[in-house]
Amino acid sequence: MEKTFSGKTVEEAVETGLKELELSREDVEVEVIEEGKKGLFRSIPAQVKLTVKEKLTDGQRAVKFLEGLLPLIGNHATPTLLSEDEKIVIQLQTEEGTKSIIGRRGEIIDAVQVLAGAVANTGRREYRRVVVDCANYREEREETLKRVAEKLAAKAVRQRKKIRLEPMNPYERRIIHAALADSEEVTTKSEGKEPNRFVVITPKNLRTEEKKFKKGDRKKGNNRERGNKYGSERKKVYEHRDLPTEATPESSGTSFRSDMTTPGYRKGSFSGFFGTFLGNADDETPKTPENKEEE
């Protein structure tokens, strides 16, 4: 829709047009036809042409975004909006192979879906779910995840232990939770942080250990088991010994008396003492008045 408006100035002409159309400045494109001039005897009014912008829905904005994104990543696919009632569904159609669009385990198409969801929910308070599909990949993947969930749930119940699945995106984790939501034998829970968040399947008959040994108690437990099998082992008790009452030699180290009868030092023998001796041997002789005179 296009319409021309006039005024004394360009701004006055634009304001007149917006008021008549009951639109805001962001909803129209402005094209200036005449700037307007003031003359001595005659004035020329300003003229503008207002074109109403096409108002796109959330799904249409996402499709327009993908039309510019896909060629940049080397994928010549055409996005088509299928529906946007409860959720926005966009189908990618291509004449080439779907492997380059889907990627290994859906990595590429999942990334495209995240970006399309961010564009579709721009300016919204309530989040709308966006699904980007190609060659019925989503439905086939959903059926595969449901079979895997039931198979691993049976394994968890049979082995009576938790089963940890590989990291998945939020969309695939919701499929696992929904597949086992009504189960009376297992429960599911998501753990970890994105992008490595995963699902844990816990059986209700989970095996619990009777007793857990602390770190370092494993050896005690083995001795206890060995004692029960071959007879109890008692700790050897040593008799109490009193320390000697004799005074030790006056030295800075500990002295031991040797049984050697031959004085002197021999290679390979023990001299009888170790440590450092402080003082002079002459100090051991008590000083008498005679000794003082001799000095």
- How many domains are there within the chain? 3
Find out whether 189 and 200 touch, Cβ atoms under 8 Å.
Answer: yes
Which of 135, 169, 193 is the endpoint of a domain? 135
Q: Are residues 110 and 130 in the same domain?
A: yes
CB < 8 Å & 24+ apart, contacts of 17-22: 17/48, 17/50, 18/50, 21/50, 21/52
> Strands, DSSP E only, in the chain?
2-7, 28-34, 46-52, 78-84, 88-93, 130-133, 163-164, 186-191, 198-203
Residue 43 within any structural domain of the chain:
yes
Residue 182 belongs to some domain of the structure:
yes
H helix count then E strand count, the chain: 8, 9
Residue 36, in any domain of the structure? yes
Give the domain-ending residue among 160, 185, 203.
203
Residue 74, phi-psi category: left (phi > 0), alpha (psi -120 to 50), beta (remainder): left
- Phi, psi (degrees; rounded to nearest 5) at 239: -75, 150
**What's the rounded Cα separation, in Å, for the pair 90 and 130?**
8
Q: How much is the pLDDT for 53? A: 77
Q: Given this model, what pLDDT does residue 244 score?
A: 54
Per-residue confidence (pLDDT) for residue 26, from 0 to 100: 77
pLDDT tens, residue by residue, 74-125: 888 899 999 988 899 999 998 877 888 888 888 899 999 999 999 999 888 8
For every one of its 295 residues, what pLDDT tens digit does the chain have, with 9 covering 90 and above? 778 888 888 888 888 888 888 888 877 888 888 887 776 667 788 888 888 877 889 999 999 999 999 998 888 889 999 998 889 999 999 887 788 888 888 889 999 999 999 999 988 888 899 999 999 999 999 999 999 999 999 999 999 999 999 999 888 999 999 999 999 999 999 999 988 999 999 999 998 753 344 445 554 445 544 545 444 445 556 565 555 555 544 444 444 444 444 455 455 544 444 444 444 444 444 554 444 444 4
6 with 39, same domain: the answer is yes
The residues near 16 (Cβ < 8 Å, ≥ 6 apart) are: 5, 6, 7
- 5 SS3 class: strand
193 and 131, same domain (yes or no): no
**Stated pTM of the model:** 0.54
Looking at the domain assignment, is residue 290 inside a domain? Answer: no
131 and 143: one domain? no
- 151: CATH: 3.30.1370.50
Domain-located, residue 146: yes
Report pLDDT for 263.
52
In a domain, 212, yes or no: no
Residue 16 lies in a domain: yes
CATH number of the CATH domain containing 106: 3.30.300.20
**Tokens standing for residue 154:** 């049976």
Q: Under a CB-based contact definition with an 8 Å cutoff, are residues 56 and 27 in contact?
A: no
Same domain, 28 and 68: no
Percent of the residues in the chain that have a pLDDT greater than 90, as a whole number: 37
Closest CA to 180 of 207, 206, 199, 158: 199
Q: Are residues 110 and 154 in the same domain?
A: no
pLDDT recorded at residue 38: 74
Alpha-carbon torsion (79, 83, 84, 88), positive or negative: negative
185 and 145, same domain (yes or no) = yes
How far apart are alpha carbons 203 and 185 in whole angstroms? 6
Q: Do 168 and 193 fall into the same domain? A: yes
pLDDT at residue 239, as a whole number: 63
Are residues 45 and 65 located together in one domain of the fold? no
Q: 178 in a domain, yes or no? A: yes
Q: What does the alpha-carbon distance between residue 9 and residue 13 come to, in Å, rounded to a whole number?
A: 6
Domain termination site, one of 135, 154, 174: 135
Position 19 scores a pLDDT of: 85
Residue range(s) defining the domain that contains residue 174? 139-203
Same structural domain, 83 and 95? yes
* Residues 238-252 pLDDT 10s: 565 555 555 544 444
